[in-house]
Amino acid sequence: MNSSSPRPDGARAPASASSAAAPRPGPAAPDPAGLEHAVPPSPEVAAAEAADGAGAARGRLVSAALVIGGIVSLQFGSSVAVLLFPRAGALGVVTLRLVAASLVLLIACRPKLRGYGRGDWATVVGFGFALAGMNSLFYLAIDRIPLGAAVTLEFLGPLILSVATSRRALSLLWAALALGGVVLLGREGFDGLNLAGAACALAAGGLWAAYILLSARAGQRFPQADGLALAMTVAALLTLPLGIATAGRALLDPVTIGLGAAVALMSSVAPYTLELLALRKLPASGFAVMMSLEPAAAATAGFLVLGQALGWAEIVAIGLVVVASVGAVRSARGGHG
């Protein structure tokens, strides 16, 4: 969840009118309904249309697989980050991740620095602050509470944003489901969760909502992924002093650097690349629904990599948040026709 914004509309172009009815050549008497009969498409045209439809279906399946790959990469990257905490601490790992990701994006995008106004740079700086805060708070959260719980709480940010921007009364149902999931996850008022970790996850969710808005604005002001590359550099510079202060010389250890680079590739570069490729053929609404699976993917990664087993209450809680997120996305799509 972690990428430069896709096009806000995300809609596909209308289907081609190649199969529209065509009048018969020469004069013809109208049928009883007053309309001329359509000439059926030739076998060649029908075969071509069938092949186009099959190709589009395959393209959507491939795009869905890319999105799932990005989600898995992101959450397993977070699991690897937790394993790296004893070496460099949460803020040290955040620094390694953002610095490595910014270097990769700068080399890949080579963004231009000239030709932009004060508003453009204000957007980049705000975007960078959101990235730095979101990642730092999230890593502080997963240092204290299980990964699945942290992602579920963080996911409330985008979910609340989706509900708040929807004008449908049904959105209140999804908000209630999400709230029920959070209360259940906390086991009667968060008594079972570290309060500091839960607060960090919720704050990260708020910055995730800000990230979504600023990502869309950066996508309008900067070409390709230039806005993301520049914002990631700002985020890296912001976290560097904190990383040095908390991790010190550990940031210079070759093994730590290598693992930090792996976290950056798994948690930033790979998910963004896969999502960018997926959005070429996958509608934005479908993409948003699939991203709702992140809390479940995080719980799975936490169990497989970190041994963070979840009880039935936590599993039901994560399920409620996932259902609420999917419902909110689908309601928003229905509200816009």
Lowest average pLDDT, out of 13-22, 64-73, 124-133, 322-331, goes to 13-22
Q: Which residues of 268-280 are buried (b: 16+ CB within 10 A; e: fewer)?
A: bbbbbbbbbbbbe
In whole angstroms, what is the distance from residue 321 CA to residue 152 CA?
A: 7
20 φ/ψ angles, rounded to the nearest 5 degrees? -65, 150
For residues 264 and 96, what is the distance between their CA atoms, to the nearest angstrom?
8
Structure tokens that stand for 326 in this block: 């999917």
140 contacts: CB under 8 Å, gap ≥ 6: 90, 91, 196, 197, 200
The confidence score (pLDDT) of residue 47 equals 55
Half-sphere exposure of 140 (CA within 13 A, CB side): 21
Given phi > 0 = left and psi -120 to 50 = alpha, else beta, which region is 307?
left
Q: Is the pLDDT of residue 215 over 50?
A: yes
**Does residue 161 fall inside a structural domain?**
yes
Contact 100, 261 (CB under 8 A): yes
Residue 43 lies in a domain: no
> How confident is residue 8, by pLDDT bands cut at 50, 70 and 90?
very low
How many whole angstroms separate alpha carbon 148 and alpha carbon 203? 16
Residue 276 reports pLDDT greater than 80: no
Six-digit token string for 328: 């909110």
Question: Quick check: is 33 in a domain?
Answer: no
In a domain, 16, yes or no: no
pTM of the predicted protein model: 0.74
Q: Looking at residue 26, what is its pLDDT? A: 41
C-alpha separations of 291 from 143, 158, 223, 242, 255 in Å? 23, 11, 24, 30, 32
**What percent helix, strand, coil does the chain show, rounded to 5?**
75, 0, 25
Distance of CA 311 to CAs 147, 155, 185, 301, Å?
14, 20, 10, 15
More confident residue, 332 or 211: 211
Is 189 inside any structural domain? yes
Question: String of b and e for 99-126 (b: at least 16 CB within 10 Å)?
Answer: bbbbbbbbeebebeeeebeeebeebbeb
pLDDT tens string 101-144: 999 989 988 999 888 899 999 999 999 999 999 999 999 999 99
Please report whether residue 325 resides in a domain: yes
Tokens of 219: 């996508």
In a domain, 93, yes or no: yes
Structure-block tokens of residue 22: 């065509």
Classify residue 327 as left (phi > 0), alpha (psi -120 to 50) or beta: alpha
**Residue that the structure tokens 């550099």 belong to:** 233
Q: Confidence band (pLDDT; 50, 70, 90) for 22?
A: very low
Residue 92 lies in domain: 58-335
Mean residue pLDDT of the chain comes to 77
DSSP state of 155: T
Residue 4 lies in a domain: no
Number of domains into which the chain is organized: 1
Tell me if 147 sits within 8 A of 75, measured CB to CB. yes
Question: Mean pLDDT throughout 304-328?
Answer: 81
Tokens describing residue 61: 């399946």
